[in-house]
Amino acid sequence: MFFRDIIGQSKVKPVLAGLASGGRLPHAMMLLGPSGGGSLAVALAFVQFLQCEYRQPDDTEPCGECPACRKAAVFSHPDIHFSFPAVGSGVVSTDFLKEWRSFLTGNPYAGVNDWLQQLGAENKQGNITKDECNAIIKKLSLKKFEGRYKILLMWLPEYLGKEGNRLLKLVEEPPEDTVFLFVAENTELILPTLLSRCQLVRLDPLSDEEVSAALTDRLKLDPARASEIAFLAGGDFGEAIRTASSQENSHTAMFVDWLRKCWKGNAVELVQWTEGFARTGRETQKQFLLYGLHFMRELMALSATGNSTLRLKPDELATAQNMARVLDFDKISRLVEVFNDNIFHIERNANPKILMLDTSVGVNTIMKG
């Protein structure tokens, strides 16, 4: 992958190229950016640039022609090691390299839920296990095969949890010519001791104009349609692609339907809805609640300012306008708290049917006051 193929990020790309060419490369870096903003794509271009055999000090792109570039382009360079969330106990990333390469080739802007669904996660949650950490230590203790560096690219170190402690010594005192590159979205979920050992590089969210231009160029969308999708995506190019490829986001329809059922408070309908919700995977359930937080944030802005130019689709906006008439700022804040609590419980394997039925009754109580 080339830097020129990446959407936006005009500030970060020359900085990374300068670090590699100027002899100032940190041994541990963390690229921090929002989901769908291109952090993973930037990391893939950067590791190819680092390994490029024909790279000169003044170059700002990998050559794309040397053996190292050709291998890096298909994610098979022996000195570029990948680590990412997977499902199951005792699993390691090398068990899923075929799926990982397919995922990166398809869309490096996709989110973790897309990845886990590709693995068939169902009710299992993604994690980076202690076995994976031990495998990383073993791989990086070996000599490099042919590249300039041994590189570990870890996508979403948030999924390490406390297992990250196993890597602290290695990150702090790495073997010669070893580079750690972490690609993260939320530093609050990362061990502070791991975070403190990395040089942090922040990526800007993509602008609506950048997303719109990319949709027009890559998906050949009509400019007006591309602008509409870009506005709704809010800087998430992965979400923009999903919206462009489907008439309606499944979370949108499901969430609006759920809110209407909560407002009506029909017990039979709520039980039927929660039974269907419980059959979805845990990552999908979590993404549903994260979407709920997005909806509530937009509803809060609508309630406070009366501004209808929100990142909501027409049916979402109509629902939000109706809710804004009956929900004040305090009620919306309480709903946000409920969604945050539910994400916490879902991550800890709470029974989704009991949890969401209880939540549905609580939402009805908050709405009706």
Are 282 and 125 within 8 A, CB to CB? yes
Pair (225, 187) in one structural domain: no
What pLDDT does 222 receive?
A: 87
Pair (212, 197) in one structural domain: no
What pLDDT does 182 receive?
A: 97
Residue 34 sits in a domain whose CATH number is 3.40.50.300
DSSP H or E stretch at residue 12:
helix 12-21
* pLDDT tens for the 369 residues of the chain, in order: 899 999 998 999 889 988 887 778 999 999 999 999 999 999 999 999 999 999 888 888 999 999 999 999 999 999 999 999 998 888 999 999 999 999 999 889 998 888 988 888 766 778 999 999 999 999 999 999 999 999 999 999 999 989 999 999 999 999 999 999 999 999 999 999 999 999 999 999 999 999 999 999 998 988 888 887 888 788 899 888 987 876 445 677 888 889 889 999 999 999 999 999 988 877 778 878 888 888 888 888 887 777 655 677 777 788 788 888 888 888 899 999 999 899 888 878 889 899 999 999 999 999 887
- Give the domain-ending residue among 246, 274, 307: 246
Pair (148, 284) in one structural domain: no
Pair (253, 133) in one structural domain: no
Residues 6 or more apart in contact with residue 52 via CB below 8 angstroms: 59, 62, 63, 66, 68, 69
Structural domain for 334, as ranges:
249-368
Helix pair angle (352-368, 250-264), 10° resolution: 60
Pair (158, 25) in one structural domain: yes
Residue 358 sits in a domain whose CATH number is 1.20.272
> Which tokens sit at 125?
């949650």
Pair (73, 39) in one structural domain: yes
Are 89 and 49 within 8 A, CB to CB? no
Count of domains for the chain: 3
Pair (325, 266) in one structural domain: yes
Within 306-351, residue ranges assigned H as helices are 314-324, 329-347
Question: DSSP class of residue 94?
Answer: G
**What's the full length of the chain, in residues?**
369
Pair (118, 154) in one structural domain: yes
Pair (174, 303) in one structural domain: no
- Give the domain-ending residue among 219, 246, 273: 246
Q: How far apart are CA 78 and CA 89, in angstroms?
A: 26
Alpha-carbon separation of residue 106 from 7, 55, 259 (angstroms): 16, 27, 34
Pair (89, 182) in one structural domain: yes
Pair (50, 171) in one structural domain: yes
Strand 80-83 with 28-32, pairing: unpaired
> Which tokens sit at 366?
């908050």
Pair (134, 43) in one structural domain: yes
For 31, the 3-state DSSP assignment is: strand
Cα-to-chain-centroid distance, residue 110:
7
